[in-house]
């Protein structure tokens, strides 16, 4: 088995990161764990640095350029130290039950020659097992108030799709996945143009360009305490604006939308944002 490294992203949430590190620090399958602190404004670095040893490295980003930038910072350090390897990327709010699950994901990369593999993720009492790569029309429909959830459900695979040990999907969740280090270098790493959201969609499109598939291992399960870190640091309106900025970048640069399609996307974005402002106003959300 190739060497295996792991990148954990931290931002103003060292307690959650420390919990994950305590969970995995003795896993023998991990040759190197890199915690990238994305320029936290709290005492994260102070507490995380206390755990540094031969296996755990803490890297301080000079500024917070977003998820993809932080992931790349950790990945490049791991590749410099381990050379040929596979890399697991993880949010801090993750619970891993057993070491064998991490080994299995790395083995999936090597055995099946795929670019990215994700686990079955338990979050918000539901299963996240990847989704279909959306089209431009899909992304426009996702912005439509009241009926967007209906269209997002249609973008998911049916239960029958997950009957085998490994299922090929369009995209896996960016909160936790394993990537071939060689493929990552071949695509020139994650696109750092987005700050938050759509990193996984873009990664899948870049893998598609080098004929590498994306898959979900149906036998590996992890728990994601969804949005714990994000919700601590970004209010609802700002989070939505970041989401839509990333969406537009993805649609323009990776789905290659026309000017007409981009104008329609922009219109639906503004419409959904107005609806969100109204909802937050009546719920008192704008005060947060």
Q: What is the pLDDT along the chain (288 residues), one digit of tens a residue?
A: 799 999 999 999 999 999 999 999 999 999 999 999 999 999 999 999 999 999 999 999 999 999 999 999 999 999 999 999 999 999 999 999 999 999 999 999 999 989 999 999 999 889 999 999 999 999 999 998 778 888 888 899 999 999 999 999 999 999 999 999 999 999 999 999 999 999 999 999 999 999 999 999 999 999 998 655 555 556 778 888 999 999 999 999 999 999 999 999 999 999 988 888 887 777 765 444
Phi, psi of 23 (to 5 degrees): -65, -40
What does the pLDDT read at residue 138? Answer: 95
261/142 same-domain check: no
Q: Is residue 231 part of a domain?
A: no
The residue segments making up the domain with residue 29 are 3-225
> CB-side exposure of 243: number of CA atoms within 13 Å?
15
Sign of the C-alpha dihedral, residues 206, 62, 73, 198? negative
Number of separate domains in the chain? 2
What does the pLDDT read at residue 23? Answer: 95
240/221 same-domain check: no
Contact 141, 269 (CB under 8 A): no
Q: Using CA atoms, how far apart are residues 189 and 73, in angstroms rounded to an integer?
A: 10
Domain boundary among 197, 225, 253: 225
Q: Is residue 210 part of a domain?
A: yes
What does the pLDDT read at residue 232? Answer: 55
What does the pLDDT read at residue 230? Answer: 53
Give this prediction's pTM: 0.93
85/213 same-domain check: yes
Q: How many CB atoms lie within 10 A of CB 202?
A: 23
What does the pLDDT read at residue 19? Answer: 96
Nearest CA among 145, 113, 114 for reference residue 267: 145
159/272 same-domain check: no
Angle at 23 between CA 182 and CA 183, to 5 degrees: 10
């Amino acid at each position: 088995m190739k060497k295996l490294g792991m990148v954990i992203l931290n931002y103003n949430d060292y307690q959650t990161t420390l919990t994950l590190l305590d969970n995995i620090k003795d896993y023998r399958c991990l040759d190197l764990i890199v915690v990238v602190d994305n320029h936290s404004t709290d005492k994260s670095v102070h507490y995380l640095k206390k755990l540094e040893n031969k296996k755990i490295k803490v890297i301080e980003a000079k500024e917070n350029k977003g998820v993809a930038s932080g992931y790349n910072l950790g990945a490049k350090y791991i590749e410099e130290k381990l050379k040929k390897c596979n890399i697991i990327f993880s949010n801090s709010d993750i619970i891993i039950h057993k070491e064998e699950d991490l080994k299995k994901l790395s083995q999936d990369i090597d055995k099946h020659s795929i670019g990215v593999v994700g686990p079955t993720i338990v979050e918000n009492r539901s299963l996240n097992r990847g989704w279909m790569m959306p089209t431009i029309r899909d992304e426009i429909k996702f912005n439509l108030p009241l009926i967007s959830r209906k269209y997002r459900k249609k973008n998911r695979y049916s239960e029958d799709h997950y009957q085998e040990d490994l299922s090929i999907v369009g995209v896996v969740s960016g909160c936790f996945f394993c990537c071939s280090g060689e493929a990552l270098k071949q695509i020139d790493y994650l696109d750092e143009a987005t700050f938050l959201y759509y990193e996984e969609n873009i990664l899948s499109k870049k893998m598609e360009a080098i004929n590498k598939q994306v898959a979900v291992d149906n036998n590996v399960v992890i728990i994601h305490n969804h949005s714990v870190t994000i919700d601590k640091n970004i209010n609802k309106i700002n989070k939505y604006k970041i989401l839509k900025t990333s969406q537009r970048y993805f649609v323009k640069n990776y789905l290659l939308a026309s000017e007409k399609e981009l104008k329609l996307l922009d219109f639906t974005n503004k419409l959904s944002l107005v609806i969100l402002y109204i909802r937050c106003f009546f719920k008192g959300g704008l005060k947060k």
